[in-house]
A and B are shown apart, each in its own frame.
Chain A
Amino acid sequence: MARFTLSDRAFDRLNTIFVLLVTLIIIYPVIFVVSASISDPHAVNTGKMWLWPVDITFDGFIRVFKNKAIWVGYRNTILYTFVGVCIHLFLLLPAAYALSRKELMAKKFFLWVILFTMLFNGGLIPTYLVVKNLHMVNTMWAIVIPGVVGAWSILVARSFFQQTYQNQLVEASKIDGASDFYLFLRVVLPLSLPIIAVMALFHAVALWNQYFSALIYLSDENLYPLQLILRQILILNEVSADSAASIAGAAQSFADQVKTASLVKYAVIIVSALPLLIVYPFLQRFFVKGVLIGSVKE
């Protein structure tokens, strides 16, 4: 390495420039989408708009808000996310807590079973058949139940419980005559709010962003989550008829339709990502914490 004889200050500068460049490259597409969502579509499509908004218009958002399918999708996604996170926590916390206690019977066996699912699974088709035969197809449960608790979440929450309580607290309460249920509900859970928040957030993001289970399990459009609607608009280029029809009585030319399509595209990305964009800066440290607890090797 002797040929790198740059002085430390020069190194510092180069390094800062490198990080700055990487950051700019990563954030540029996001800025572009935000600017494009409020720019004139003609300017966007001809490449005149490349960083800041040009000929500002909020037409895209107005059209998104008038689109019924997007609202239905939004409502469904909120519902699935909320219900999914509740069931997730209801199953995850007791399981992880029990596995964190020394005196659990057959603990090795349970851990092994859970770990095994990380290494091996039946795959797409067997899962699909199970969901189908349980008559969950075309219901909310097909979205919420499969994958409701993953092995990773259980292991992360378990290692949090282990690190935090290490049994002294438990033993102290036991001596005071508290039952296991009382202990779990009144002592452990109130002290575990950080891990509960982390786990809820990760699961909520996963549910909010997933499209695949909806794609294979749902055929009723009234049940479609937001991501499936987005797929139609962004990827399949099916600008839904009702967004065009909602512009009262205006007969649209083909060029107009193309314009509308590109307007709606960027606006709908913003609208769909808005809840996450708003909370992300405040919750970033929780997400980071989740990753770090998960990476602690015993």
Chain B
Amino acid sequence: MWFEHFERFFDSYYFWRLLKNTIILNAYNLILFPLPIIFALSLNELRNGPFKKWSQTLTYAPHFISVVVVVGMLVAFLDPNTGIINHLIRWLGMDPIPFLTSPDWFRHVYVWSGQWQSLGWGTIIYLAALAGVNPELHEAAKVDGASRFQRIMRINLPSIMPTIVILFILNIGNFMQIGFEKVLLMQNNLNSETSDIIQTFVYETGILEGQYSFAAAIGLFESAINIVLLITVNQIARKVSENSLW
């Protein structure tokens, strides 16, 4: 009796679809975790000057655009008839792609538009960590004849490794619950095969249909997965690299 709602959820035909979609979407996002690191390493190699400053200011900016506007821009840019992207695709001689109404494209659009928004902002912490790298290491490596690229890979990257590990753990901690508000905005009947995730399901059954207990149980299930993931990853990180949250 106690676990009635959980059992109903686990036994339902949509359970595996929701779990699969949630995991794939978040894993896809997680795979792109190195991108801001690469961009930060690259920005760090620029000489201090207006170009560096401008590229930072411009790449940080999308972070402040609201999800509604981002999805609104996607709707406008990716429209099969009037969107600029499909004009480009037609110009290249291919058929227009209905990005926002196709289950095959949903994940790509979701994840890459997220990267567009967060890539620049994500470099801030890494840049600060890079500013703390001991310059003597670079001097010594130069004397030994190391190239720029070698010095980045052998000095800069290892120096910011603790920061990378901490941010990675924090990312895992949010594994199941990133960007639900954006998914909800991007979701429609045509792409629900891949865009139905646990949180949108909680919203539908709980808020829209009023099945509070059932939806709350599913939400709890998700929170529980999250905390288990966070603790596991933290333990692994502590063993492997001596960097951990606690």
Residues of A that sit less than 8 Å from B by CB: 1, 4-8, 11-12, 15-16, 18-20, 22-23, 25-27, 29-30, 32-33, 36, 44-47, 50, 119-126, 128-129, 205, 208-212, 216, 227, 230-231, 233-235, 237, 262, 265-266, 269, 272-273, 276, 280-281, 284, 287-288, 291-292, 295, 297
Contact = CB atoms under 8 A, between A and B. Distances in A.
Contacts of A26: 58-59, 61-62, 116, 119-120
Contacts of A231: 68, 72, 185
A210 to B, nearest CB: 8
Given A123-B222, A230-B72, A205 B128 contact: no
A228 to B, nearest CB: 8
A119 to B, nearest CB: 6
Interface stretch (B9-17, B20-28, B39-47): B39-47
B125 A295 contact: yes
29 contacts: A11-B148, A15-B46, A19-B55, A22-B119, A23-B54, A23-B59, A30-B61, A30-B62, A47-B88, A121-B223, A122-B216, A122-B219, A124-B203, A125-B215, A205-B64, A216-B203, A230-B69, A233-B72, A234-B69, A234-B73, A237-B75, A265-B76, A266-B76, A284-B60, A291-B124, A291-B125, A295-B125, A295-B163, A297-B166
A45 B65 contact: no
Contacts of B105: none
Contacts of B87: 46-47, 50
Contact of B184 (A205, A212, A276): A212
Given A119-B227, A124-B202, A273-B65, A15 B42 contact: yes
B79 to A, nearest CB: 8
Interface string B53-95: 0110111111011111101110111000110100110010000
Given A1-B150, A234-B71, A235-B185, A292 B124 contact: yes
B230 interface: yes
Contacts of A297: 166
A43 to B, nearest CB: 11
Nearest to B63: A287
Contacts of A7: 147
A288 B124 contact: yes
Contacts of B226: 120
Contacts of B137: none
Nearest to A44: B82
A5 B203 CA distance: 55
A110 B228 CA distance: 23
B39 A123 contact: no
B39, B73, B222: most-surrounded residue (chain A CB, <10 A) = B73
Contact of A235 (B72, B88, B125, B154): B72
Nearest to A262: B82
Interface string B116-159: 10011100110010000000000000000001111001100000
Interface residues on B, range: 35 or more
B46, B77, B148: most-surrounded residue (chain A CB, <10 A) = B148
B72, B119, B226: most-surrounded residue (chain A CB, <10 A) = B72
Given A121-B223, A273-B69, A292-B125, A1 B76 contact: no
B207 interface: yes
B202 A4 contact: no
A20 B119 CA distance: 14
B84 A122 contact: no
B29 interface: no
A20 B61 CA distance: 15
B202 A123 contact: yes
Given A124-B202, A125-B219, A265-B72, A4 B147 contact: yes
B149 A1 contact: yes
B84 A6 contact: no
Contacts of B199: 124
A211 B67 CA distance: 8
A123 to B, nearest CB: 3
Contacts of A50: 84, 87
Contacts of A6: 147, 149
B30 interface: no
Contact of B42 (A18, A120, A124, A276): A18
Contacts of B125: 291-292, 295
Nearest to A29: B73
Contacts of B65: 209, 273
Contacts of B116: 25-26, 29
